[in-house]
Chain A
Amino acid sequence: QQQVKQSPQSLIVQKGGISIINCAYENTAFDYFPWYQQFPGKGPALLIAIRPDVSEKKEGRFTISFNKSAKQFSLHIMDSQPGDSATYFCAASESDYKLSFGAGTTVTVRA
């Protein structure tokens, strides 16, 4: 049973548009929420992460929004570029260093 539910499974966005990926969780003990980016045939790489004491974190064109009461968090990719085409995974951990991953979202950015 997946502890982190991720949607959508895939999305297509035009170059310059905004990509939005949503994740939801039930375990209130989770205290670390990272996002990973994976290109075909490669391992995932840490993109950005947030803790529940803040509601938003921005790094360049990537922003995490966190809603603790709703137990939801999302990744926004602003000004999407073809090089952003990849699979994105949300994840969560509860201080035991094990990450539980969402099912992944394949993002395709059309030029």
Chain B
Amino acid sequence: DGGITQSPKYLFRKEGQNVTLSCEQNLNHDAMYWYRQDPGQGLRLIYYSQIVNDFQKGDIAEGYSVSREKKESFPLTVTSAQKNPTAFYLCASSIVSSGYYGYTFGSGTRLTVV
């Protein structure tokens, strides 16, 4: 079955530590996105990429980094510069074509600072 796989489902980070969240898709989608979800704030865009080896900052990119070396993969690193990283992180992908913007989301990674 085609879809998006996020791992791990739960992740615990110590103060000052960098952690990387994995996102893999087998939908052959061109674009991939990372969103952060906090209670009462909806989904906020962290980074997005429309083609391999290219990505753009979203609304809340500070303290995060990404790479897009393969079409299927878009890992997100939460760096120690992100002061409040506890949140639910969602990866999504979509076709890049005129008139179709439907997103497919993964099941998310819940990150907690301990």
Total A residues in contact with B, Cβ cutoff 8 Å: 23
Residue-wise, chain A 24-55 has the 8 Å CB interface mask toward B (1 for contact) of: 00000000101010000111111001000000
- Asked whether A97 lies within 8 Å of B42 as measured between CB atoms, the reply is no
Alpha-carbon gap, A43 to B106, bound state (A): 6
Contacts of A49 in B (CB 8 A): 102
How many residue-residue contacts, CB under 8 A, span A and B? 59
Total B residues in contact with A, Cβ cutoff 8 Å: 26
Asked if A9 is at the interface of the complex by the 8 Å CB criterion, the answer is: yes
| A9/B50 contact (C-beta < 8 A), A34-B102, A44-B105, A46-B103 known | no
Contacts of B107 in A (CB 8 A): 41-43
20 cross-chain CB contacts under 8 A: A6-B42, A34-B102, A41-B107, A42-B107, A42-B108, A43-B4, A43-B108, A44-B90, A44-B105, A45-B105, A46-B102, A89-B42, A89-B43, A97-B31, A97-B48, A98-B45, A99-B33, A99-B43, A101-B42, A102-B42
